[in-house]
Structure 1
Amino acid sequence: MTTPRPRAGTKGVPRAAREQQILAAAVEEFGRRGYEGATMAGIAARVDVTKALLHQYFGSKQDLFLACLDPVGERLLDAVRTAMAQGGTDAPPTPLRVLHGLFTALDGQREAWFVLYDGSLPPGSDAAGRAAYYRGAVDGLAASGTADLLRAAGSADPLDADALKHAWRGLATALVRWWINHPEESPDAMARRCARLFAVGRTVLAADDGV
């Protein structure tokens, strides 16, 4: 019995492989330029295919964005959940575990963070709604983690928890942006760097308390 050959896409590349190439290129394009700045022509050029082929495979620009967003959102959610479940007496603090998990999940596709946290998505669009769903899920996990930290510090103010959640998102975004500009940094190296920075921050704050 003859084994069926994989369905070919362009230039002899099987369609499934070509789709993965397109998705990888689209994540980079959307992550670097934002939804508003990214173009189907630019994504097609990255993979050396026609814009017509992108539409044939994925439909509209928004459809292609959603095809990128869902795997990214699920991967980051899973990374946060896993990191938060790995607590223990010898485990690093929750923020460091979560950052390490995020860096590991983003390794090889660091721009993916900005597919999820894209401020240029059209308001009211399916893309904006889907991104908001994933951001809300990530924020919900972050809120539970930061609430534990605040309770340990003796704070019961809900506005403290809300402010810390937003500060945490901003910190993670800033660190990923820095990481993109330093491709030599591995996820483990970034986690160690964050541990050092957090230690410095605690030292500075402790010194200020003593003034």
Structure 2
Amino acid sequence: MTTSSSRAGTKGMPRADRERQILTAATAEFGHYGYDATTVAAVAARVGVTKPLLHQYFGSKQDLYLACLDPIGDRLLSAIRTAMTEPGADAPPTPLRVLNALFTALDGQRETWFVLYDPSLPPGSDAARRAAYYRDAVDDLVTVGTADLLHAAGSKDPLDADALKYAWRGLCTALIRWWINHPDQSPKTMTQRCARLFEASYTIFADGDDST
């Protein structure tokens, strides 16, 4: 029995499998090179299909980007929300739980973070607006998650919360970039490393306060 053309991809591969293959390749290209430098031709060559076939499946480069972005944004938001649910008595602090959730969600395709946090997206485009939607949703969760930390520190300045939100985004981006360059590091070891770094940072700043 032959497979209908509506269900088959190229070289006998079912269309659904070929689409997943294309999305995996495109996600890697967008994450590594950025939207502006990624071409449909490069994605097609990476998969081993023709450029017209890729356009047939996904349309324009922006359509392909959006097809990559939505699963990433949904996966990261779900991971963060789960990490921020009411913890048990012995659970790590919220920042560590969130970082562990991010590392776990990104493991195996770490560059996906930079599909969402891509500065080369065309301003005003559907791609930029959709990415901003996910980034704003992540920022809203961060604001909720850090409210208790600021309250415990006695902060009532709303600009403190805004500054912390941007600092947290930068910290996550820096850690993930470091993680990409150290592929042997598992999500668990990364979370443990962050716990040590947080403890060291607290000690440094506490010592600074004592010396003034």
In 2: Cα distance, 1:33 partner to 1:53 partner: 22
Q: Deviations over 1:94-143 (max 9, x none)?
A: 00000000000001111110011011111111000000000000000001
Q: Is residue 88 of structure 2 the alignment partner of residue 79 of structure 1?
A: no
Q: Which residue does 2:19 correspond to in 1?
A: 19
Amino acid at match of 2:63: D
TM-fit CA distance, 1:88: 3.0
Q: Which residue does 1:52 correspond to in 2?
A: 52
- Aligned pairs for 1:28-107 within 5 A: 28-107=28-107
In 1: Cα distance, 2:200 partner to 2:2 partner: 61
In 1: Cα distance, 2:73 partner to 2:63 partner: 15
In 2: Cα distance, 1:111 partner to 1:12 partner: 30
Residue 4 and residue 59 in structure 1: after superposition, are their counterparts in 2 closer, same or farther (change >3 A)?
closer
In 2: Cα distance, 1:60 partner to 1:110 partner: 25
- Aligned pairs for 1:165-204 within 5 A: 165-204=165-204
Amino acid at match of 1:105: A
In 2: Cα distance, 1:51 partner to 1:60 partner: 11
In 2: Cα distance, 1:4 partner to 1:18 partner: 14
Q: Which residue does 1:159 correspond to in 2?
A: 159
Q: Which residue does 1:143 correspond to in 2?
A: 143
Amino acid at match of 2:37: G
Residue 3 and residue 151 in structure 1: after superposition, are their counterparts in 2 closer, same or farther (change >3 A)?
farther
Amino acid at match of 1:84: M
In 2: Cα distance, 1:52 partner to 1:184 partner: 38
- 2:159 is paired with a residue whose SS is helix
Gap runs ≥5 in structure 1: none
Consecutive aligned runs of 4 or more in structure 1 exceeding 6 Å deviation: 2-6
TM-score relative to the length of structure 1: 0.96
- CA RMSD between the two structures: 1.5
Q: Deviations over 1:154-196 (max 9, x none)?
A: 1111011100000000000000111111111111111011111
- 2:34 is paired with a residue whose SS is helix
Q: Which residue does 2:123 correspond to in 1?
A: 123
In 1: Cα distance, 2:10 partner to 2:185 partner: 35
Gap runs ≥5 in structure 2: none
TM-fit CA distance, 1:93: 0.5
